[in-house]
Protein backbone atom coordinates (compact mmCIF):
# COMPACT_ATOMS: atom_id res chain seq x y z
CA UNK A 1 0.00 0.00 0.00
CA UNK A 2 1.45 3.40 -0.92
CA UNK A 3 2.57 5.47 2.10
CA UNK A 4 0.19 8.35 1.35
CA UNK A 5 -2.85 6.08 1.31
CA UNK A 6 -1.65 4.22 4.40
CA UNK A 7 -1.27 7.56 6.21
CA UNK A 8 -4.73 8.69 5.08
CA UNK A 9 -6.43 5.47 6.23
CA UNK A 10 -4.48 5.46 9.50
CA UNK A 11 -5.57 9.04 10.21
CA UNK A 12 -9.20 8.21 9.41
CA UNK A 13 -9.14 5.16 11.69
CA UNK A 14 -7.59 7.15 14.54
CA UNK A 15 -10.30 9.81 14.16
CA UNK A 16 -13.04 7.16 14.16
CA UNK A 17 -11.44 5.48 17.17
CA UNK A 18 -11.41 8.80 19.03
CA UNK A 19 -15.09 9.40 18.20
CA UNK A 20 -15.99 5.93 19.52
CA UNK A 21 -13.83 6.13 22.66
CA UNK A 22 -15.16 9.48 23.92
CA UNK A 23 -18.65 8.21 24.97
CA UNK A 24 -17.11 5.15 26.64
CA UNK A 25 -14.61 7.25 28.58
CA UNK A 26 -17.27 9.79 29.58
CA UNK A 27 -19.55 7.05 30.92
CA UNK A 28 -16.84 5.12 32.77
CA UNK A 29 -15.30 8.22 34.39
CA UNK A 30 -18.51 9.60 35.94
CA UNK A 31 -18.99 9.77 39.68
CA UNK A 32 -21.15 6.86 40.91
CA UNK A 33 -23.36 8.99 43.16
CA UNK A 34 -24.73 11.40 40.56
CA UNK A 35 -27.82 9.31 39.86
CA UNK A 36 -29.41 10.00 43.24
CA UNK A 37 -32.17 12.57 43.53
CA UNK A 38 -30.64 15.86 44.82
CA UNK A 39 -31.41 16.86 48.42
CA UNK A 40 -33.29 19.98 47.34
CA UNK A 41 -35.58 17.89 45.08
CA UNK A 42 -36.66 15.19 47.56
CA UNK A 43 -39.70 13.24 46.42
CA UNK A 44 -42.65 13.46 48.82
CA UNK A 45 -43.80 10.14 50.26
CA UNK A 46 -47.22 10.45 48.58
CA UNK A 47 -45.68 10.86 45.08
CA UNK A 48 -43.27 7.96 45.46
CA UNK A 49 -45.79 5.15 45.92
CA UNK A 50 -45.36 3.97 42.32
CA UNK A 51 -41.64 3.26 42.93
CA UNK A 52 -41.23 2.46 46.61
CA UNK A 53 -43.22 1.38 49.66
CA UNK A 54 -41.76 1.72 53.14
CA UNK A 55 -42.87 -0.60 55.93
CA UNK A 56 -42.22 -0.36 59.66
CA UNK A 57 -43.04 -3.40 61.79
CA UNK A 58 -44.98 -4.88 58.88
CA UNK A 59 -47.26 -1.87 58.38
CA UNK A 60 -47.03 0.72 55.59
CA UNK A 61 -45.37 3.95 56.68
CA UNK A 62 -48.16 6.04 55.13
CA UNK A 63 -50.76 4.31 57.32
CA UNK A 64 -48.62 4.82 60.42
CA UNK A 65 -48.16 8.51 59.60
CA UNK A 66 -51.90 9.02 59.06
CA UNK A 67 -52.64 7.33 62.39
CA UNK A 68 -50.07 9.57 64.14
CA UNK A 69 -48.05 6.60 65.37
CA UNK A 70 -44.64 7.84 64.18
CA UNK A 71 -42.89 10.24 66.51
CA UNK A 72 -39.48 11.87 66.54
CA UNK A 73 -37.54 13.15 69.50
CA UNK A 74 -36.15 16.66 69.03
CA UNK A 75 -34.26 18.35 71.83
CA UNK A 76 -36.07 16.48 74.56
CA UNK A 77 -39.57 16.88 73.09
CA UNK A 78 -41.57 14.41 71.03
CA UNK A 79 -43.09 15.44 67.74
CA UNK A 80 -45.59 13.50 65.61
CA UNK A 81 -44.40 13.13 62.01
CA UNK A 82 -46.70 13.70 59.04
CA UNK A 83 -46.38 12.60 55.42
CA UNK A 84 -45.03 16.07 54.53
CA UNK A 85 -42.08 15.53 56.89
CA UNK A 86 -40.85 12.48 54.95
CA UNK A 87 -38.85 12.89 51.72
CA UNK A 88 -37.19 10.24 49.60
CA UNK A 89 -34.06 10.19 47.49
CA UNK A 90 -34.22 7.71 44.61
CA UNK A 91 -31.29 6.11 42.82
CA UNK A 92 -32.06 6.33 39.09
CA UNK A 93 -28.95 4.44 37.94
CA UNK A 94 -30.95 1.46 36.67
CA UNK A 95 -33.08 3.63 34.37
CA UNK A 96 -30.14 5.67 33.10
CA UNK A 97 -28.07 2.55 32.47
CA UNK A 98 -30.90 1.03 30.43
CA UNK A 99 -31.11 4.18 28.31
CA UNK A 100 -27.33 4.36 27.71
CA UNK A 101 -26.71 0.67 26.94
CA UNK A 102 -27.36 0.80 23.17
CA UNK A 103 -25.09 3.82 22.73
CA UNK A 104 -22.30 2.24 24.76
CA UNK A 105 -22.57 -1.04 22.85
CA UNK A 106 -22.38 0.82 19.54
CA UNK A 107 -19.34 2.75 20.79
CA UNK A 108 -17.63 -0.45 21.91
CA UNK A 109 -18.31 -2.04 18.50
CA UNK A 110 -16.96 1.08 16.79
CA UNK A 111 -13.79 0.92 18.90
CA UNK A 112 -13.29 -2.72 18.00
CA UNK A 113 -13.75 -2.13 14.29
CA UNK A 114 -11.51 0.95 14.28
CA UNK A 115 -8.76 -0.89 16.17
CA UNK A 116 -8.99 -3.87 13.83
CA UNK A 117 -8.77 -1.65 10.74
CA UNK A 118 -5.90 0.34 12.24
CA UNK A 119 -4.05 -2.91 12.98
CA UNK A 120 -4.60 -4.14 9.41
CA UNK A 121 -3.39 -0.84 7.95
CA UNK A 122 -0.30 -0.58 10.15
CA UNK A 123 0.78 -4.19 9.57
CA UNK A 124 0.21 -3.93 5.82
CA UNK A 125 -2.34 -6.75 5.72
CA UNK A 126 -4.66 -4.88 3.39
CA UNK A 127 -3.83 -5.83 -0.17
CA UNK A 128 -3.22 -3.01 -2.61
CA UNK A 129 -3.70 -3.78 -6.24
CA UNK A 130 -2.72 -1.14 -8.71
CA UNK A 131 -4.96 -0.13 -11.58
CA UNK A 132 -5.34 -2.77 -14.24
CA UNK A 133 -5.35 -2.20 -17.94
CA UNK A 134 -8.47 -2.22 -20.08
CA UNK A 135 -10.23 -5.53 -20.44
CA UNK A 136 -10.43 -6.73 -24.06
CA UNK A 137 -13.95 -7.00 -25.37
**What pTM, to 2 d.p., does this model score?**
0.50
Is the pLDDT at 3 greater than 70? The verdict is yes
Dump pLDDT digits (tens) for 62-80: 888 888 888 888 888 888 8
Is the pLDDT at 127 greater than 70? The verdict is no
If you average pLDDT over residues 6-30, what whole number do you get? Answer: 86
Dihedral, CA of residue 82, residue 84, residue 86 and residue 88, to nearest 10: 150
CB 13 within 8 A of CB 114: yes
Amino acid sequence: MPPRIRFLFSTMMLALLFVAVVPLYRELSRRPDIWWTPHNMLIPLVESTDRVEIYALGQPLTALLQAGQVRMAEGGSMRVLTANDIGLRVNNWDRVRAEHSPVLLASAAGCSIALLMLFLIITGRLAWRGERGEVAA
